[in-house]
Structure 1
Amino acid sequence: MNDPAVQQAAREALALRQNLAHDPHRPQYHFIAPGNWLNDPNGLIQWNGRYHMFYQYNPRGAFHGTIHWGHAVSDDLVHWTDLPIALAPTPGGHDAEGCWSGCAVDNGGVPTLIYSGVFPQTVCLATGSKDLIAWEKPSTNPVIAGPPAEIRDASGGHFRDPFVWRVNGQWHMLMGSKVDGAGGLVLLYRSDDLVEWQYVGPLLQGDVNQTDPFWTGTMWECPNLLDFGRRQALIVSAQATHAEFLYPFYASGHFDGSRFAPEIQGVLVHGGPSCYFYAPQAMCADDGRYLLWGWLREGRSEQLSIEAGWAGVMSLPLVVSMELDGRLCVEPAEELASLRREHWRFENIALSDGTDMLLDGVIGDTLEIVARFEMASGGEFGLKLRASPDGREYTRLMVRPAEHQVVINRDHTSLNEDQDRDLGAAPIPPLANSALTLHIFLDRSVVEVFVNSGMSSQVSRIYPSLSDSLGIGVFSRGGSAHLLSLDIWQLASIW
């Protein structure tokens, strides 16, 4: 692009990236902002064949505040080019305190962003140039000034994250909200022109007392509705009573145009008690795939992030699919295989009780790993990641057959105590045979794990302090195990 604004943005982004390139915890093949703060993915859209990702961004530091919309573009879902900031708060405007989450649509050839202006929380628009570089906010903002009067929300502030799509020439919008004392809520609106909106009613109301199969929280953010034909899936991100992040979850069922009737529910991606995966947004690509990204939160103190100069990572590009029974699967996009470089392969390794060893010649902190185990009946077995030769630092990825869980144990992840240590766990889905497959992406401080073709998945964050914490190992305790095959690839940087 020869646009001077684009070239200037690229120079500034490159300078930020180069300044942080020495950081041993900064991911290399996940999308990450040039510096400072990143949270929710926004405005995902494929425009003229190119993938555009907008994201919540604070250019003033590695903390949440003065939220803008960052912007990047990709031709292959893997490598990204930084573009100029798309949205910035307008002093004295309806988004003076931040341009919060929203989406992007093609309105008859006009790229349009629909987002939350704060405070109070309202719905605003911005229209873009044909190359999606320059954006203007119309005088009609806000197009929705607040939640419907009948919604009981004592704070008056929970009305955000528009998700918009068009059916038969009419626009539909979902908004995240809550009802005091009752639970999370998704609201439904309709419009013919994206400006005048009619409130239809609640799409789905949560139950704050529901605990089976899991608690759905008190507030629902970042709604998405995905249409798989035979069923639809509603995805929301749940908050607890004091705005603690819980997890993104989905309900599969049927949308009749006004209401959503759920049939089954499930956690989309497990992020542990600290919720490392949150606020996902999906888009329908030109090839028909539903692509989804989520915000990977940090697992260390805010002060350490501020000192590092960056916080927040985007997940890998994930493909969402639905099983016949309505369960959702998330798997890494196949395009990521283009990053594979050096390859190691091991086969038929018997792990007797007490085995704990590092693999000869295998080191790295930017790896893709595919491990196939024969499922045992007891004990625990698995892999060690980011292990130091002296045994002082390592992270265990543990299979616990008796508990039907894959667990990430960070008790010895780092000698630095100023980071999270809690256990993260994801359920082991029913197995078609006795083989369990773990597909792992290790990117310095990021660990993403997909179990049996994405039927279950989880994310964690690790921050080893030793420069030689690069080893990969295997272990078994409390019983024997059989590692059928182990493939490990070194992955190239996308920068």
Structure 2
Amino acid sequence: MSTRRGFIAGLAGASTVAVWPRALRAMMEADAAAIAHDLNRPACHLLPPHNWMNDPNGPIFWKGKYHLFYQVNPHAAVWGDMHWGHAVSTDMVHWKHQPIAMAPTPGGADSEGCFSGSAVVFNGKPTFIYTGVQNAPREQVTIRDGGDKLRETQMIAVAEDDDLLHWKKDEQPIIPLPPPGVQVTGFRDPCPWKEADAWYLGVGSGERGKGGCVLLYRSHDLRQWEYLHKMVEGKPNGKQATNPCDSGEMWECPDFFPLGDKHCLIYSTENKVLWTTGHYDAQAHTYTPERNGVLDHGAAYYAPKSFAAPGSRRILWGWLRETRPEAEFSAAGWSGCMSVPRVLTLGAQGQLEMHPAKEVESLRGPAESVKVSESTPFRRKLDDLQRELSLHLSLLTDTVLTIRLISNGPAAWELTLDVPAKQVRCGDIAFPFPALPWPHPDLRMLLDGSVIESFIGEREALTSRVYGLKPGETQLEVSMKGKGSIGMQTWPLRAISPDKLTS
């Protein structure tokens, strides 16, 4: 099947120039109409009007507004031709799309893509530090995943207006090469922060046979950077793969920040997102993890990025990727969305905890409160595919609790909390029941089209993608085995736009 990008390129070469804008407009209008009626498409999550989205980039609160940038392919619903998309909000829930913030510069160090990065405020101006990629001779290649043709460098761009619509790039990379003596498996996704004496920058990397790592740099002006050392590194795990991200020999999208009286490092590798909390030595500039875990147990959640939000909150965004075949999402005309914003906190034993931001509750319609017991399960046919439920689990003892979405026969999705087995199960995924006591003894589930985000006691999260659900034919069921009953609330959720195109 030809891609939309190929189709547009073909139209651009047509001999009758007047046909081109009419044909393109008709195609885009048809796409928009189809996308707006796509039942798989979320209505309560941020995503572009069409085409491909991946990593959140450079989230920042500036002049009273939240700005979220993200990886986007403006030409097709598949990965490639990475630009930075841009959306703005006053509440992190309702968004207005803005023009593309950054595009590859022909012949420049980011000619093959503006990859992921971060935003900081430097000298009073929002500033991006990001990874640019370009084709390079094999000896200069840094992405070694079987393709082996792209060189990654760290680059900078500065906002030219307070609406963050226009950005001025430096032509030359600020970090053109990996440190000497390190045979990197990758060199990308810069994460900057300010300390008393200077700016510091972590870059995701790794080495074959040694594991992933974060390379640490220091600067006083964000242009001249001194390499220090590996701030933290993994250990060999014996795994091998063509793509080092699959074997744990490359850590993508490192995110490093203070949280409570600890520091937190989040990174993506082996097809999942891992968190650690621990001690950062500000004199030696090294980080020692003390606690660790999986940030989200679902296969759909990847490459998150956090920022400091008003109210001393650390807000995390994650990319919710498609789990269906590429041919299907390419034909649908859209792929990927952002998670709901999650607030990160530090637990009493130093573990990472999270919950949806309070602002998400603004989407709730009228609440319905019920009791669920072994003899009285809850069953409801859904008139739409936007729904939240919250189960109060403070009385759980020997209970087995199951939530199902049933569509034309067998369950399309099932989540089970098995207290006697001390296990949570969802399809092929299983993980230990989070240790009690929980900061909030509840289970929250948000259904939005093909997206399901679940939070268990603010200790564990699991994001699923379930395709093919239909309003009026999908039943929500909550059942339990065990003594007593469980209180539950459920709400319909209002869409954030009238047409599923966000704004």
Short-chain TM bin: 0.7 to 0.9
In structure 2, the partner of 1:470 is: 474
**Alignment correspondent of 1:427:** 432
Q: Distance in 2 between matches of 1:351 and 1:25?
A: 32
Is the partner of 2:180 in helix, strand or coil? Answer: coil
In structure 2, relative to structure 1, the CA distance for the partners of 1:250 and 1:85 (3 Å cut) is: same
For residue 446 of structure 1, the aligned residue among 431, 437, 451 is: 451
Measured against aligned partners, the alpha-carbon deviations of 1:70-114 in whole angstroms (never above 9, x if no partner) come to: 000110111010001011111111001100000011111122111
TM-score normalised by the chain length of structure 2: 0.83
Change (3 A) 1:393 1:363: farther
2:442: which partner in 1?
437
Give CA deviations for 1:7-34 in whole Å, capped at 9, x if unaligned.
xxxxx99996555110000001111111
The answer to whether the aligner puts 1:159 opposite 2:187 as a matched pair is: yes
SS in 1 for 2:343: strand
Q: Is the 8 A contact 2:56 2:304 kept in 1?
A: yes
Q: Of residues 484, 487, 494 in structure 1, which corresponds to 2:486?
A: 484
- 1:438, 1:63 → 2: CA distance? 34
The answer (yes or no) to whether the contact 1:207–1:216 under 8 Å persists in 2 is no
Find the counterpart in structure 1 of residue 275 from structure 2. Answer: 249
**Are the structure 2 counterparts of residues 483 and 303 from structure 1 closer, same or farther at C-alpha, using a change threshold of 3 Å?**
farther
Report the Cα distance in structure 1 between the residues aligned to 2:200 and 2:276, rounded to whole angstroms: 19
- Determine the C-alpha separation between the residues in 1 that align with 2:292 and 2:118: 24
1:143 paired to 2:174: yes
- 1:219-262, Cα deviation, whole Å (9 max, x unpaired): 111111121252111111113xxxxx233332433342511112
The residue type paired with residue 404 of structure 1 is K
Matched residue SS, 2:366: strand
Aligned residues of 2:117 and 2:128 also touching (Cα < 8 A): yes
Distance 2:28 2:254 in 1: 30
- Of 160, 165, 179, 1:133 maps to 165
1:18/1:109 CA distance change after superposition, 3 Å: farther
Aligned partner of 1:89 in structure 2 is 104
AA paired with 1:163?
Answer: C
Deviation for aligned residue 1:217: 1.8
- Aligned partner of 1:261 in structure 2 is 288
8 Å CA contact 1:369–1:489 kept in 2: the answer is yes
Asked if 1:342 corresponds to 2:366, the answer is yes
Query: In 2 relative to 1, CA 455–33 (structure 1 residues): closer, same or farther, beyond 3 Å?
Result: same
What SS does the corresponding residue of 1:367 show, helix, strand or coil? strand
Counterpart pick for 2:310 among 281, 286, 291:
286
SS at match of 1:394: strand
**For 1:151-190, what aligned pairs fall within 5 Å after superposition?**
151-153=182-184, 158-168=186-196, 170-190=198-218
In the aligned structure 2, how far is the partner of 1:441 from the partner of 1:396?
Answer: 14
After TM superposition, list the pairs within 5 Å mapping 1:273-422 onto structure 2. Answer: 275-347=299-371, 349-352=372-375, 359-360=379-380, 363-373=383-393, 374-377=395-398, 380-385=400-405, 387-388=406-407, 390-409=408-427
| Corresponding residue number in structure 2 for 1:455 | 459
Are the aligned partners of 1:369 and 1:486 in contact in 2 as well (CA < 8 Å)? yes
> Hey, what does 2:297 align to over in structure 1?
270
In the alignment, is the contact (CA less than 8 A) between 1:238 and 1:249 conserved in 2? Answer: no
Matches of 1:205 and 1:362, distance apart in 2: 47
* Conserved 8 A contact 1:62-1:306: yes
Between the aligned partners of 2:28 and 2:174, the Cα distance in structure 1 is: 33
Instruction: Indicate whether 1:191 and 2:219 are aligned.
Output: yes
- The aligned residue for residue 420 of structure 1 is none
CA deviation digits over 1:397-456, x for unaligned, max 9?
1112243222223xxxxxxxxxxxxx23343212238x952111111101111111x111
Question: Structure 1 residue 480: deviation in Å?
Answer: 3.0
CA RMSD of aligned residues (A): 2.4
Give the distance between the partners of 2:350 and 2:468, measured in 1 at CA: 39
- Which letter does structure 1 place at the counterpart of 2:63? N
Please report how far the alpha carbon of residue 42 of structure 1 lies from its aligned counterpart in structure 2 after TM superposition: 0.2
Q: Which segments of 5 or more consecutive residues in structure 2 lack a partner in the other structure?
A: 1-26, 135-150, 240-245, 498-503
Note the residue ranges of structure 1 that are not aligned, 5 or more in a row: 1-11, 240-244, 410-422
Aligned partner of 1:372: which letter? Answer: H
Structure 1 residue 123 and structure 2 residue 154: aligned? yes
Match of 2:46 in 1: 31
The question of whether the paired residues in 1 share the 8 Å contact of 2:384 and 2:471 is answered with no
- Contact 2:381 2:473 (8 Å CA) reproduced: no
SS in 2 for 1:64: coil
* Contact 2:276–2:289 (CA under 8 A) maintained in structure 1: no
Q: CA offsets per residue over residues 157-183 of structure 1, 9 Å max, x none? A: 500000111122521101000011010
- Asked whether the equivalents of residues 404 and 427 of structure 1 are also in contact (C-alpha less than 8 Å), the reply is yes
Are the aligned partners of 2:381 and 2:474 in contact in 1 as well (CA < 8 Å)?
no
Q: Distance in 2 between matches of 1:426 and 1:469?
A: 31
> How far apart, in 2, do the equivalents of 1:365 and 1:167 lie?
46
Identity score, percent = 38
Could you say if the C-alpha distance between residues 190 and 13 of structure 1 is closer, same or farther in structure 2, counting changes exceeding 3 Å?
Answer: farther
- Identify the residue that residue 44 of structure 1 maps to in structure 2: 59
The Cα of 1:270 is off from its aligned counterpart by: 1.5
Per-residue deviation, residues 471-491 of structure 1 (Å, max 9, x unmatched): 211234xx5354411111001
Larger CA deviation: 18-27 vs 462-471: 462-471
1:59, CA displacement in angstroms?
A: 0.7
**TM-fit CA distance, 1:65:** 0.4
Q: CA deviation digits over 1:125-183, x for unaligned, max 9?
A: 111122210112123x2110121012123xxx500000111122521101000011010
Paired residue for 1:64? 79
Distance 2:410 2:133 in 1: 47
What SS is found at the alignment partner of 1:121?
strand
Partner amino acid, structure 2, of 1:249:
W
Structure 1 residues 229 and 384, CA gap change in structure 2 (3 angstroms)? closer
When residues 262 and 406 of structure 1 are mapped into structure 2, their CA distance, relative to the original with a 3 A threshold, is: same
Question: Alignment partner of 2:327: what SS?
Answer: helix
Offset, 1:46: 0.5
Measure the CA separation in 2 of the matches of 1:14 and 1:265: 47
Does the CA-based 8 Å contact 2:118-2:129 persist in structure 1? yes
